[in-house]
Amino acid sequence: ETGVTQSPTHLIKTRGQQVTLRCSSQSGHNTVSWYQQALGQGPQFIFQYYREEENGRGNFPPRFSGLQFPNYSSELNVNALELDDSALYLCASSLVASGRRAYNEQFFGPGTRLTVL
């Protein structure tokens, strides 16, 4: 196990609603990345949080937003849910040293499966 936890494990919402997904990073890690994985596809990068600030974003609209807390846990918020938002949402934690640009291994949590009806 990676030590990365996510809640809830499953969620059903209807179009137009809002949802908040939560992620606790592995002990000692300071960075959380969020990915969306649609059925039959690979995970797609949504955004990354480092030191409580967004540190890179993929091609997702502003209705996808996030937070990182002082304990490095993170939330992903999605407003105005659409049917196409149905997917597995994965968070991954890593340890990034300040000023380093090199890649640091990301450890994935078990994901939250969101269904939008």
Partner 1 sequence: RKEVEQDPGPFNVPEGATVAFNCTYSNSASQSFFWYRQDCRKEPKLLMSVYSSGNEDGRFTAQLNRASQYISLLIRDSKLSDSATYLCVVNTGRRALTFGSGTRLQVQP
Which residues contact partner 1 by CB under 8 A?
Answer: 2, 31, 33, 35, 40-45, 48, 55-56, 58, 88, 90, 92, 94, 96, 101-106, 108-111, 113
For residues 110 and 21, give the distance between their C-alpha atoms in angstroms, rounded to a whole number. Answer: 12
**Residue whose CB is less far from partner 1, 45 or 69:** 45
Tokens of 60: 């997702």
C-alpha of 9 from chain center? 13
**Residue whose CB is less far from partner 1, 13 or 113:** 113
**Residue 22 C-beta: closest distance to partner 1, Å:** 15
How far are the Cα atoms of 14, 71, 95, 105 from residue 87, in angstroms, in the given order? 14, 27, 26, 23
**Residue 108 C-beta: closest distance to partner 1, Å:** 4
76 and 21 Cβ atoms separated by less than 8 Å: yes
**Residue 103 C-beta: closest distance to partner 1, Å:** 4
